[in-house]
Amino acid sequence: MNIPTEPGRANDRLHSSSVEHSMSNTSFKRNTPFPKMILTIIWAVFHFVFYFLQQVAEIFAPILLIMGIIWKIIPNLVQTATHMVDSADPQIRDMVGRGTELIPTSLTVAGHTISASSLIFDGFLLLALTALCATITAFLGRRI
């Protein structure tokens, strides 16, 4: 079955549709990648920042918790030892008493007061920051 067509007109239609397609395709390619690239860079920077914060918080949270707990327990242990030593020699009692006085209840460093309770609280805050950063990092990882 032969369908009569004009050869010149068929070629014009094919040529014009391919030119329109290539023009629309190049304009699409020209406009789209640049904003996507910027958006990807922004997401990557935020991903890096939150992942970095997560790593730092994972390092310091246990350190602060352990230091705070030990600092909270040691004065109680020394005080218990003082009560046990009360019946002992007076010189030993004086040494243990001075040891109890040497353990500070708080430190002031550059205007900031640090205590055992504040270290424990900061450790828990860093654990919460770790969980938040892990959640945000997972979300950003899916977006990239």
Residue among 25, 33, 103, 27 at smallest CA distance from 71: 103
Residue among 60, 69, 65 at smallest CA distance from 130: 60
- Write out pLDDT tens, residues 107-130: 998 988 999 999 999 999 999 999
Say what the pLDDT of residue 66 is: 96
Say what the pLDDT of residue 105 is: 86
- Write out pLDDT tens, residues 71-86: 999 888 877 877 777 6
Residue 126 has which token pair?
Answer: 């860093």
Whether residue 36 has pLDDT greater than 70: yes
CA terminus-to-terminus distance, the chain? 54
> 121 and 64 in contact (C-beta within 8 Å)?
no
